[in-house]
């Protein structure tokens, strides 16, 4: 049984009672769990009767452990009783605790904020133009030509756009430095791959020629080379010119299953158009959700924003780890600290949390539900992405996983209500680039 007192800033104070019977059961479990912590003369460790331990150490010897056993279920039941959703761990305070009356404790907690929805249907959205042009198709085919280019050696001086094979050895103040020496290095002149001034001094050299090149490392370069003057001893071993394959039917046969260049172009355009259609829909969803979110009013507690920031940083940390870096490394290279890094994500985290709350509120207002068929469909979708069968994937799911997938279904349905009713209007064209799909899943990880 519990009572609730609403506090400022969307917080609540629950006063929760646990019956003497339930608490007595918890005390017995606590005894069984912790009896081996007590030394009682005449008994082996862990074998002393409960009454003996309570006589020696006091009646409340097991109360602390018993409270840890009992409070969670009582707290969850109190939230359910009063239809409250907490977004943070509660602050607990025991009022009374004994075997005769049970337990009375308070739990002060931050509640999920209420959302006052504004307009979210029939929103005007600039019609995005993601039509695929012939020039864009040709640009993709040119990339294929670049991938299949050959490099032919030439007996002449280096010019811009040539590729050279070279050996080099760098030194600062006459001392070689780590990473400054290489053999058979490939370098396209004009690519800007090397430090400023290096590639320009290669122009005019010939195969077999050796030369000392003087350069200055940029001030923003990593220590200890930043701003230092350096000399590179360079030897050109080959001068190469890129030769692109002819743009004809033979080229199409070489790189694809098509017999003609026209068939290759048609396939490219079809695939690009399919991707463009998805990007177009994502752009519409993003703009519509942004407007629906802007039209809503909600006070978001800091704890939800902070949790979202931590979730985002975990994702960044994972991406960095693929390159062998840590968040601390990233902070060092960008000249910030962890607090500064968190602050840089605060605005985006706030937007994500607000969007999530607005989507959930729309779903609640519209009465969206997740049916068994909906759940089977999303399980099949996730199973395909994991390389498992739907049956294998479903068997691996825990209760919280099912809840997560169900929440995704509800969010998608709510987003669909918004986007299905948009009014497309002619206006400033949306920037033509891949649009990230609006997030239809919970913005926060579960506790």
Instruction: For 56-76, give one letter per residue: b (16+ CB within 10 A) or e.
Output: eeeeebbbebbbebbbeebbe
Q: Does residue 294 form part of some domain?
A: yes
Q: Are 168 and 214 in contact (CB under 8 A)?
A: no
Q: Are 121 and 418 in contact (CB under 8 A)?
A: yes
User: Taking phi first (over 0 means left), then psi (-120 to 50 degrees means alpha), and beta for anything else, what does residue 184 get?
Assistant: left
Residue 435 has which token pair?
A: 């649009």
Q: Does residue 432 form part of some domain?
A: no
Do 350 and 310 share a domain, yes or no? Answer: yes
What domain range includes position 279? 261-425
Domain boundary among 110, 128, 159: 110
CATH code of the domain in which 65 resides: 3.30.70.1050
Domain boundary among 243, 273, 300: 243
Query: What whole-number distance in Å separates Cα of residue 14 and Cα of residue 110?
Result: 11
Do 220 and 307 share a domain, yes or no? Answer: no
Indicate whether 18 pLDDT > 80: yes
pLDDT of residue 322: 87
Indicate whether 444 pLDDT > 50: no
pLDDT digits (tens, 9 = 90+) for 278-302: 999 999 999 999 999 999 999 999 9
pLDDT digits (tens, 9 = 90+) for 68-88: 999 999 999 999 999 999 999
pTM above 0.85, yes or no: no
Q: Does residue 14 form part of some domain?
A: yes
pLDDT of residue 119: 97
pLDDT of residue 447: 38
pLDDT of residue 445: 35
pLDDT digits (tens, 9 = 90+) for 409-435: 999 999 999 999 999 998 655 555 555
Indicate whether 111 pLDDT > 60: yes
pLDDT digits (tens, 9 = 90+) for 376-398: 999 999 999 888 899 999 999 99
pLDDT band at residue 6 using 50, 70 and 90 as cut-offs: very high
| Region 233-253 average pLDDT | 96
Q: Does residue 172 form part of some domain?
A: yes
- Residues 6 or more apart in contact with residue 223 via CB below 8 angstroms: none
For the chain, how many structural domains are there in total? 3
Query: What whole-number distance in Å separates Cα of residue 318 and Cα of residue 340?
Result: 19
Percent of the chain beyond pLDDT 70? 95
């Amino acid at each position: 049984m519990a009572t609730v007192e609403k506090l400022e800033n969307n917080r609540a104070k629950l006063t929760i009672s646990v019956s003497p019977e339930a608490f007595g059961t918890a005390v017995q479990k606590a005894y069984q769990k912790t009896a081996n912590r007590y030394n009682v003369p005449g008994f082996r460790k862990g074998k002393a009767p409960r009454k003996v331990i309570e006589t020696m150490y006091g009646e409340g010897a097991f109360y602390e452990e018993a409270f840890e056993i009992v409070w969670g279920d009582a707290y969850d039941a109190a939230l359910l009783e009063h239809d409250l959703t907490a977004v943070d761990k509660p602050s607990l305070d025991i009022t009374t605790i004994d075997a005769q009356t049970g337990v009375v404790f308070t739990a002060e907690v931050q509640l999920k904020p209420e959302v006052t929805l504004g307009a979210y249907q029939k929103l005007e959205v600039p019609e995005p133009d993601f039509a695929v042009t012939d020039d864009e198709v040709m640009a993709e085919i040119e990339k294929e030509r670049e991938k299949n280019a050959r490099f032919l050696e030439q007996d002449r001086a280096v010019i811009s756009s040539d590729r050279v094979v070279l050996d080099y050895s760098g030194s600062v103040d006459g001392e070689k430095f780590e990473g400054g020496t290489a053999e058979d290095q490939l370098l396209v002149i004009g690519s800007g791959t090397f430090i400023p001034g290096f590639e320009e001094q290669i122009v005019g050299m010939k195969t077999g020629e050796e030369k000392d090149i003087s350069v200055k490392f940029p001030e923003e370069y990593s220590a200890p080379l930043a701003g230092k003057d350096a000399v590179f001893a360079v030897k050109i071993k080959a001068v190469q010119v890129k030769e692109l394959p002819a743009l004809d039917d033979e080229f199409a046969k070489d790189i694809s299953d098509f017999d003609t260049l026209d068939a290759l172009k048609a396939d490219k355009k079809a695939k690009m158009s399919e991707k463009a259609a998805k990007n177009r829909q994502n752009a519409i969803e993003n703009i519509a959700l942004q407007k629906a979110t802007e039209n809503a009013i909600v006070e978001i507690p800091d704890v939800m924003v902070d949790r979202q920031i931590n979730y985002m940083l975990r994702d960044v940390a994972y991406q960095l780890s693929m390159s062998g870096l840590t968040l601390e490394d990233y902070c060092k290279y960008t000249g910030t600290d962890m607090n500064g890094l968190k602050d840089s994500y605060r605005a985006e985290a706030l937007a994500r949390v607000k969007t999530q709350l607005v989507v959930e509120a729309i779903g609640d207002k519209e009465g969206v539900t997740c049916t068994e068929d909906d759940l089977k469909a999303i399980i099949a979708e996730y199973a395909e992405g994991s390389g498992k069968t739907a049956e294998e994937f479903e068997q691996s799911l825990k209760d919280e996983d099912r809840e997560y997938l169900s929440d995704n279904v509800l969010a998608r349905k709510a987003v669909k209500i918004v986007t299905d009713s948009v009014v497309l209007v002619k206006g400033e064209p949306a920037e033509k680039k891949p649009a990230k799909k609006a997030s239809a899943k919970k913005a926060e990880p579960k506790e």
